Amino acid sequence: MQTYSVVPREYKTVNEAEAISRIKEHKRNLGKQMVILTHHYQRKELVPLGDYTGDSYYLSKVAANEKEAQHIIFCGVHFMAESARILCRPEQIVYLPNPLAGCPMADMAEIDDVLSSWKELKSVLSDSKVIPISYMNSAASLKAFCGDNDGVVCTSSNAHKAFEWGFKRGQKIFFFPDEHLGKNSCNRLKIPADEIIIWDPKKENGGNELEKIRNAKVILWKGYCHVHINFTPEHVKKIREQYPGALVVVHPECSEETVALADASGSTNFIVNYVTEAPSGSVIAIGTEINLISRLADMFPDKKILELTGQTCPMCVNMFRTTLGDLLYTLDNLGKVNIIEVDPEVKQGALLALERMLELN
Ligand code: 13P
Ligand code: SF4
């Protein structure tokens, strides 16, 4: 059961300086009783208020290792707070300051569709062991399905390791819900294209001929991130024409064609490290969410940081939902609002899959 409530108007209109000062006061008063985790895509005024900032893998590790704080505030999207809830101790309380912050990609793999696809797939592949692997961007029920069926969860930082792990335990991998991260992970492991198929849950046998399913090593759920599919190979070519010598770094939720032309690809932490380590004076075009790109531009005035498309604003509106007012409201009402709970029936399987992921690195 989630304890959601409507944010009162005064928190929507509170001015930035006042909200920051009151949030800092809560932080001083609560000390080690509370930690605030902020994902790299959060608004730039929120990030400095975080005790820890990072990618999904890093923040899930922080939640799993946090022993002192009774209150864990996750400024990110629902699947991140839900994973923290599963990984932390039962007596700790996890909060998502804006409960409407979801991930449309995670919603593309609903558990009922996964279960019926699994049944269909197993009837074709009765003599092969199929390992289900879910991207962290998924509901707890899907993580539990993976945990209960000898599978694992991964993030963008360790998907290739999860695939290697899977191939030690079975002949085939069924990966949810991001076909692009799946394809990029296969490419990294040099799995031939004709051994990879896309599974469209709306079609019979995922839209595949039976022979193709039998020959496939990797079956990729048809899903995508609406932010990252905006970045195209044409953008990479254009930026290189405009800025000869520019470096291009993208998130692996981008298409394989875009990743192939980039200089590097990796999780949001990888992108931050890539920009940090680039020499002063570098021109770096980035294919990921705009809030991270503009924060990096502010952090490194000695480097020219460009958004890869050069024209659109690749924003994750769900990450953008969380405001200073939402965080302040949550802190003013600790123990009462925006608490994330996980169905006990799925918690155990999801924990198993997440713990296997933490062991991968
Ligand atoms: P990271 O794990 O790289 O932070 O990615 C999370 C995400 O949602 C990217 O769209
Ligand atoms: Fe989900 Fe894409 Fe937003 Fe990441 S950027 S949280 S994958 S919608």
Quick one: which of 284, 288, 238 has its CA closest to 259?
288
Is residue 6 very low, low, confident or very high in pLDDT (cuts 50, 70, 90)?
confident
Residues whose beta carbon lies within 6 Å of some atom of ligand 2: 77, 103-105, 137, 225, 227, 253, 289, 316, 318-319
| Structure letter (DSSP) for residue 214 | H
Q: What is the mean pLDDT of the segment spanning 77-100?
A: 98
How far apart, in whole angstroms, are the C-alpha atoms of residue 175 and residue 357?
14
265-275, pLDDT tens digit by residue? 999 999 999 99
Is residue 216 very low, low, confident or very high in pLDDT (cuts 50, 70, 90)?
very high
What are the structural domains, with CATH classification, of the chain? Answer: 2-101+321-343 (3.40.50.10800), 106-226 (3.40.50.10800), 232-308 (3.40.50.10800)
Structure tokens at 248: 């291009």
| pTM of the predicted protein model | 0.96
How far apart, in whole angstroms, are the C-alpha atoms of residue 84 and residue 72?
8
Quick one: which of 97, 90, 57 has its CA closest to 74?
97
Q: What is the mean pLDDT of the segment spanning 295-300?
A: 98
Q: What is the mean pLDDT of the segment spanning 61-73?
A: 97
Residue nearest to atom 6 of ligand 1 (CA): 56
Examine the pLDDT at 23 and tell me if it is beyond 90.
yes
**Coil, strand or helix: which one is 87?**
helix
Checking DSSP bridges between strand 152-154 and strand 172-176, what pairing results, if any? unpaired
First vs last C-alpha separation in the chain: 32
Q: Using the mean position of ligand 2's atoms as its centre, give its distance from the Cα of residue 209 in Å.
A: 31
Residue nearest to atom 5 of ligand 2 (CA): 316
Residue pair 121/63 in contact (Cβ under 8 Å)? The answer is no
How far apart, in whole angstroms, are the C-alpha atoms of residue 72 and residue 93?
6
Residue nearest to atom 8 of ligand 2 (CA): 103
Report the DSSP beta bridge partners of residue 172: 130
Please give the pLDDT value at position 251: 98
342-354, pLDDT tens digit by residue? 999 999 999 999 9
Residues whose beta carbon lies within 6 Å of some atom of ligand 1: 40, 55-57, 137, 155-156, 225, 251, 253, 267-268
Scan for tokens 């050069």, then name that residue: 310
Examine the pLDDT at 4 and tell me if it is beyond 60.
no
Mutating to test ligand 1, I would choose from 253, 270, 289 the residue with most ligand atoms within 8 A of its C-beta, which is 253
| Mean per-residue pLDDT of the chain | 97
Please give the pLDDT value at position 1: 45
Structure tokens at 142: 């899907």
Total count of residues recorded for the chain:
361
Please give the pLDDT value at position 312: 84
Ligand nearest 78 Cα, by number? 2
Examine the pLDDT at 213 and tell me if it is beyond 70.
yes
* Ligand 1 atom nearest to CA at 55: 4
Percentage of the chain modeled with pLDDT above 90: 96
For residue 103, give every residue at least 6 positions away whose Cβ sits within 8 Å of its Cβ, in sequence order, or none. Answer: 77, 78, 79, 137, 318
Mutating to test ligand 2, I would choose from 289, 290, 291, 320 the residue with most ligand atoms within 8 A of its C-beta, which is 289
Q: What is the mean pLDDT of the segment spanning 89-107?
A: 98
109-136, pLDDT tens digit by residue? 999 999 999 999 999 999 899 999 999 9
